[in-house]
Structure 1
């Protein structure tokens, strides 16, 4: 049986839909509620690398916290600085993130997860 790790917020409808797709496909699920247990800098960096994206591509720019912190995606920050911002402020992390083996996708739309099953 395949094993998946889902980093999600159970209050988010897209997270719940993605979780349901995994369950419907008989996947063994490791559920990480990332607002309660944020990924470490190294974990988040590995997820970004697996998706071949920069950390700032995971940022939920529509969150009020993004504006409160006076952030801009054009800020001249290092990869590490963006990772620290995300791990210190997990509410800014796009969700859900699903990892199956070495493959990782963002479940937006939830059907994206089917590409790695």
Structure 2
């Protein structure tokens, strides 16, 4: 199974998740989402695969938005400021998981 990992090399959870997937022999495509930010359509697709609201992808401590902000406002913030995206995110063709804890991504591989 192929997995795309939205990854930040400075994030310990990103590094741990990548190491966990590689140790399991999973083919991983690493995407530094800050250098190659996801589009609004990609964010919406990942949220559908997560089966979560937009707030699940938000790093609230880095945001000025209120937690009761609209889905549209949260998505716009994530699309324009990728550092607000929670990391890491493992994505397959049919599912996605946030790697907090890293073992959570094993549910989809």
The answer to whether TM tops 0.5 is yes
Q: Distance in 2 between matches of 1:28 and 1:96?
A: 16
Deviation string, structure 1 residues 49-70 (Cα, Å, up to 9, x no partner): 111111122111112xx1xxx3
Q: Confirm or deny that 1:45 pairs with 2:11.
A: no
Q: Contact 2:6/2:30 (CA < 8 Å) preserved in 1?
A: yes
The structural deviation recorded for 1:83 is 1.3
Measured on the aligned residues, the alpha-carbon RMSD in Å equals: 1.1
Q: How many residues align?
A: 109
Aligned positions of 1:46-65 closer than 5 A = 46-63=45-62
Q: Distance in 2 between matches of 1:74 and 1:3?
A: 35
| Structure possessing the higher radius of gyration over alpha carbons | 1
Q: 1:116: which partner in 2?
A: 108
The structural deviation recorded for 1:111 is 0.5
| Gap runs ≥5 in structure 1 | none
Q: 2:72: which partner in 1?
A: 80
Q: 1:71: which partner in 2?
A: 65
Q: Distance in 2 between matches of 1:80 and 1:62?
A: 19
| Gap runs ≥5 in structure 2 | none
**TM norm structure 2:** 0.94
**TM norm structure 1:** 0.88
The structural deviation recorded for 1:72 is 0.4
The structural deviation recorded for 1:81 is 2.9
